[in-house]
Structures are given as structure tokens and as C-alpha cells.
Structure 1
């Protein structure tokens, strides 16, 4: 079955808006695990507007040996203030997977993937370092991306397809073209020896259609929609709803 990794960034956003420790990102992770999710995702950013480096460390201690731990981020963003940099955080906590994302401070959320033709040599030493740490390495890519053989050659093991355009097209009523592009991207990545993850704006409404179109989908990372839906149905119930869709 496709693994569900729950992104907890929005829990941290809510906590940070008030200060203090509530709602607890650790308790949220515990609830998701007890409901059956297979992984927890966080995306620490240098501006620390949601998940903080100390959250990353606390989750690592709590999750180890229980479910997969996926840390997302821009490997080229320099350290600042209390943010030590993505690679340094990975060296500290040794997550299961690191998903490299080319996002910047000016982005509200991730909105594009790497250009594998032009970025691959910059990524090579970072992938080497993450593999030496013991992390699985995934690259965030757009549907229609090319150059998967180059990614595989430098040690990348997975891609994560950016599904924002798919979710938008689905909401507009016709996702056939973009869904076909996602499926073809997944097929070419798999032919190059890479496993395929997906994430961004996936929801209970659109996940089933996407999952059916992508044979061998390894993992979905879902946060914004899942946490929003949980406001109405509860976190554990919502996680179980997603797992049922993936089954």
C-alpha cells in the first residue's frame, strides 16, 4: 500500500500564532501514528515560520523505530539564527528520508521542482553527504520533468511529484491532461530506477483519482488539506479516512 506521511507544519503554524507549546506537535504525531500513518513529514524553513529546529529534534527522538521520518527543505539555504541548515539538521537527527525542495523565503509554500538538467551537479555533493548519513534522498520535481537517469546516477533514490497543478485542475473539473502528465512522469522515473512519491494539495477529494493513475506510488505526503479536514472530523478519523482511500 502507498505509505501516508502526515505533514505537521500546520500544527506548528497554529502553535506559533499564539506562542507556547499548544497545540503540541508531538501529540499530533502520536495521534497520527496511533491512527495508522506510516510516516511523519516536516518542512523546516530558515525563517522558522512553522516547524522549528527543536521540533525536528524532538520528533526524531519520539519517532525513531516507529514510523518513517521525512524532512523536506532547500539544501542550498544557508544557516541563520537558530536554523543550522538542512544538511546539518539531517546529520543531527538522521531521518529516514530527506526530500530536497528548491523553495525560497518569498514562497508561501513550495510551488515548483528542481530542473534536473541544470541542478544536478549542484545537488551531487549534497546527495553524497545525505547518503553517507544514511538518509534516503528524494527530489521534488514538476510533472513533465526530465533527466531522471542523471538523478539516479548521483544516488537519488526517489522523486516527489509536485501535485499542486493536478489538485487545481481537479478542483476546476478536468484534471485529465495534468494527471496523464503525472502518470508519464512517474513511469519514466520508475524506468530510471527511482521510486515515486507525491505531494502538495492532495486531499480526500482528489487522492483516490491520483492514486489510481500512478501504479507503484510509494508515498504521499499530505499536510494542509489533512489538517484542515481534521478541524471538522478529528485528526485520527481524518488519518484513517486517507488510509482507506489509499487501500
Structure 2
């Protein structure tokens, strides 16, 4: 059947395309699945529909936003480039353990996906009362509500990534000390990655120790790799490594 009005047909076609926009909500919610959204739909619209469990770990919920994927692809590429560069410079300088660590971190980061995670408060109550930004959604966005973890993960210049049991009010350096920190670690700072994706560098040496560097369950600690004693132009490596780790959502099901 031919359409007698081209403008009307065009609007109908646009309308049918818009109606197919969808956002997926998964994890510890009462009604997981895909939700159709209209232009102007916001976070709270699909959060109310999916009904996150009141006992789920709202602090660690993640919003995976398609428009951030390209930016994070570049972030990951930059981290991988700097790790490869650091490995080569370390080999030239006979720092074999540094080169081995750089190569291992390269492999670990290469395996991690680019998620498009955007830092956001996804606590339904905070959104409803206006304490958090009720941002606009886009087609293909995902919301993940994880189970509450019981550990803190330590990454970076350690023998292997390790999980330390969470202990209330325990400081970051005390978690890190429970893992095998390598001699190629930078000893003055740690990078803290909270479950909501916030990233912060804290001093942990005697001269710069910052009190109150406590973590929530499911946080990650990056023990930075030393890179200021080599002729290697990678001054932002550890910060960008922490920022990329922050894009990784917590597991939907507790391990």
C-alpha cells in the first residue's frame, strides 16, 4: 500500500523506530529484563519498573552508557600502549621484573571489556527525592544491580590480583599489605576505586599518609607500578589504569 503523504509516512517511520528503543536492567532486581523507553525517559523510569531489591547493593550499581564506549576504547588503548612502552624501556634498562609486571598487566587489561560505564548514583530513593541526578537514558543502555560483595580486590603491582575480606573502617594500605606487593610498586600512593566508579589517589607513606582512606565492600585498590625511575614518557599510566578499572561493573551474582 502506497502512502499518500510522504511527510506523514516519514513521521510514522521515525515514531516506529523510537518505539523500539530499549534499556536492559539486570542483576538483583525483582523484574529484570528489557524495557521500552520513549524520548525523554530517565533513570528513575526504568528503575521503578525493574524494582531493585531493597537489600541489593545499590552503591555498586552500574549504568553502561553507549555514548561513552568510544571514549573508553581510547582510554583502554592508551593504557595498553603505555604498558607496552614501559615493558620495552624496562627491558632496555635491564629491569626484568618491571618488564614482566608490565607484560602481565597488559594481558589482564587486554582481556577486560569496554563497558561505557558512567559514574552515577542509582539509589532509587536518592533519585526519587532529588538527591541524585535523574539523567536521560539512551537506546541500548544497561543498568546492573549487583549482589553485595564481601571482599576488596587488590590490583596492579602485586604478585597476583587478590581478594581481601572486607572489614569496616579498615584503611586502604592495610588491605594492600595483605597481598604480595612487588618491589616494582610505587610505595608512596595507592589508587582507590569505589564500587560506584569514583577514583581517588591517596598517600600511604609516612610523609604523606592520608587518614580516613576507607573503602566500601567491592572496592578495588590499584597498587601503582613504578614508572618515574625510567626514561619512559608514561606519567599518566597509573591514573588511567585506575580510571579504566573503574569502568568494570561488579558481578551481578556474588562469587
TM-score range, shorter chain: under 0.3
TM-score by length of 2: 0.23
Whichever structure has more helix as a proportion of its residues is 1
Q: Which has the higher contact order (CA 8 A, sep 6+)?
A: 2
Q: With the length of structure 1 as denominator, give the TM-score of the two structures.
A: 0.24
